Amino acid sequence: MLAPLLLGFAVLAPNRIVPPRPIAVGDVQVWGFLMPAGLAALAAALLPGRVAALACGVALCGLLGGLDDVAGRLTGSSPAARLGPGGGAWVAFGALLLAARLALGRAQVGAAGRAATAMAFVATIGLMAALGLLGDLGLVREAAARGVELRTALAGHLELVAAALVPALAVGVALGAFAFVSPRAGPAVIGVLAALQVIPAMALFALLIEPLAALGRAVPLLREAGLRGIGAAPAVIGVFLYLLLPIAAATRSALGAAPAAAVDAARGLGFAPGQVLLRVRLPLGAPVFLGGLRTAAVQAVGLVTLGALVGAGGFGVLMFQGLGQFAPDLILLGALPVAVLALVLDAGLRALEEAMDRRRAGAA
């Protein structure tokens, strides 16, 4: 409640050349939105878990509505003007989201329930946008003006994530299985993969440019297939290398997660090694493996963003364009979808992981 008052409510930029100026709450009439938002935020501190989370959502929607109302009055019909949240509004957004998450935790809502709540909140924001209640915000204006670029960035980002994650899943599982069945070689395998994590992402992408360019020049067929020093190839290969460690380590841990007594009992019943793997080790270790897969998937979504610096595409293109043009709304247009994709993947895989944990506990 205090953050928009003390740290600034909004920032207004007449165009991309003039620096944005802060807009305080006292400079505009927004109490029609901020008073209900403040009351909802106060109520959230006194209400039980699920209702408190709902009150936080109402407060956040009221804050967004107030920003849009101010944007409509200050930017008018100027196509170049952009109004966005100020520092205080961003602090309030973060505080409300954190409060909602803590409220759901108090109510002991599982991962599936938290994912459903997040989807309901996103749907509410989408409904507000469809009804024209957010159309004057700078971010929404930027999205409307760059609809084609946004769709291209989404498709490119998902393609890059899949191109790195799918082969990393296959190779990482094989390396993790080898590390499990070969205790002597296991530490060396995991150590080499861990060493790759030490290399900064941009340095790794840059190191791949010249070898891939040379390979493309030596084998024109590979160059025609897209294996070049600049483009998707260095980004995909670099992200692929980073993903091997969490997947291999999770596979190794998952295969060893089954209690020794369960494995011995299965062997005593006459199970072949393949049956022990399929009927004991994999079911009991699946939640552990999903935890590693969740880490790898979220890591892939974030790392692919840096691929734009080597010409790979994705949402990173919008982010770096915004940085070059000093356009905060354009930066957010690239950054927010990346955050949403990562959160969706994390929530979905976490819900699946918890469901398998409950199933394993029930079976035990």
For the entire predicted model, the pTM comes to: 0.86
**What does the block give as tokens for 14?**
């007449």
Task: Answer left, alpha or beta for residue 226, where phi above 0 means left and psi between -120 and 50 means alpha.
Answer: left
User: What is the per-residue pLDDT for 280?
Assistant: 82
- Whether residue 363 is predicted with pLDDT greater than 60 in this model: the reply is no
User: What is the per-residue pLDDT for 305?
Assistant: 94
Identify each DSSP E strand in the chain by its residue range.
Answer: 10-13, 21-23, 82-85
User: What is the per-residue pLDDT for 89?
Assistant: 93
User: What is the per-residue pLDDT for 241?
Assistant: 95
User: What is the per-residue pLDDT for 338?
Assistant: 95
Calpha distance 277→292 (Å, rounded): 19
- Whether residue 66 is predicted with pLDDT greater than 70 in this model: the reply is yes
DSSP letters, 180-206, are HH-TTTHHHHHHHHHHHHHS-HHHHHH
Domains of the chain, by residue range, sit at 3-137, 147-363
Calpha distance 254→283 (Å, rounded): 9
Highest mean pLDDT among 100-109, 221-230, 265-274: 100-109
pLDDT averaged over every residue in the chain: 88
Confirm if 96 and 56 have CB atoms less than 8 A apart. Answer: yes
Condensed to tens digits (0 to 9), the pLDDT of residues 154-180 reads: 999 999 999 999 999 999 999 999 999
- Per the listing, tokens 């190794």 go with 252
The CATH architecture assigned to 147-363 reads Orthogonal Bundle (1.10)
